[in-house]
Amino acid sequence: MNYYRMSETGACPRVLTARGLGYEAAVRPVQDEHRLRYYTLLESIAAQQMADQGYVLEEGGLCEQCGSHGIHVELSTALFKLTGHLDRRLVLSTGVKVPVEIKSIGRFTFQKMENSSVFAVYPEYAAQMACYMEAEKMPGIYWVMNRDTGDNIKYIVNDTKGVLTPSNLGHFSEFTQVTLPVTYQEIVDRLNNVEILLQEKELAPSNITDSCRWCDYKYLCIKEEKEEVAVEESDKTLVEAAQLYKEGNKYKKLYEDATDQAKAILLKHALSTNKYKVSGVSVSYRGMTKKKLINESLIPEEILKKAIYYSNEYPDITIRILKEK
């Protein structure tokens, strides 16, 4: 029976199939190990912050079974087992214990998180948390520390039954209530698909995103991309079009920078005079607004299918300007 770490359940399915089929992971530089030790140390500092604020915590320590840090938890399904390590458990005044996940992140990501939510910035963390909460049958606490300043963002995760209340959780108002964008059942379905591919000895399809940069199995996908070799063309019309494209792109960038600068100046004035005209330009400021975003993973598949419609066809083309050699 296959084992998966709870921390990897949100990973790219191709990684999970590659590992299951015995592909070698790229050798990590020794600095990564140092960084991991440093992050574990930072998590202890964040846990100490919690203790200093009066929270009673059950310690993690070194797991005797796996050699990892944290409190060992397990889940089993018909096809596989999941193991994980909670950073801490929070002991409430009622004696109830809830899982605590601690993350330490840099200031730029921290800022992004302040403006959205931890799981919007790191959706892959949601799967890990869903597993922890399933293993404990409890809601969870997500404690994020800015490793540059020591500031915190605190989340109560999936507390549908009101286990975490102002009386058993001091500074309650400082916590943001969040719902995970993924359920445990969805994770099980995903891993069942991985299991099916493993039985058929197939790799899951690649899905290239920004996170691929850190992937240990990148070589599998880069190889695939390289197979499609670009043909060098020399036709005069194409050469001229390419040069025109590069030139146009350069000016587009210059114009965009210039309009951004002008927009900032016009906006600054609009903050005090909501509506004004200047030199043939009209400016109307209606206060701050937000974009409406829809998290598709929260919509049942049947409803999503009905709601999706397709635009007219358009060419799927990417034009990149290559670096000069």
Min CB(2)–ligand SF4 separation in Å: 18
Q: Which residue, 223 or 286, has its beta carbon nearer to ligand SF4? A: 223
Residues that bind ligand SF4 (CB under 6 A): 12, 14-15, 206-208, 211-212, 215, 217-218, 220-221
Q: How far is CA 163 from the centre of its chain?
A: 26
Judging by beta carbons within 10 Å of its beta carbon (0-12, 13-18, 19+), is residue 105 exposed, middle or buried? buried
Name 60's Cβ contacts closer than 8 Å, sequence gap at least 6: 69, 70, 71, 85, 86, 87, 88
For residue 139, which of 96, 174, 79, 105 has the smallest C-alpha distance? 96
Min CB(198)–ligand SF4 separation in Å: 15
Min CB(318)–ligand SF4 separation in Å: 17
Q: Which residue, 19 or 97, has its beta carbon nearer to ligand SF4? A: 19
Largest separation between any pair of C-alpha atoms in the chain: 79
Q: Which residue, 213 or 236, has its beta carbon nearer to ligand SF4? A: 213
Min CB(72)–ligand SF4 separation in Å: 27
Q: Give me the phi and psi of 236, to 5 degrees please.
A: -60, -45
The strand pairing partners of 1, in sequence order, are none
Instruction: Report residue 141 as tokens.
Output: 């606490």
Min CB(216)–ligand SF4 separation in Å: 8
Q: How far is CA 323 from the centre of its chain?
A: 30
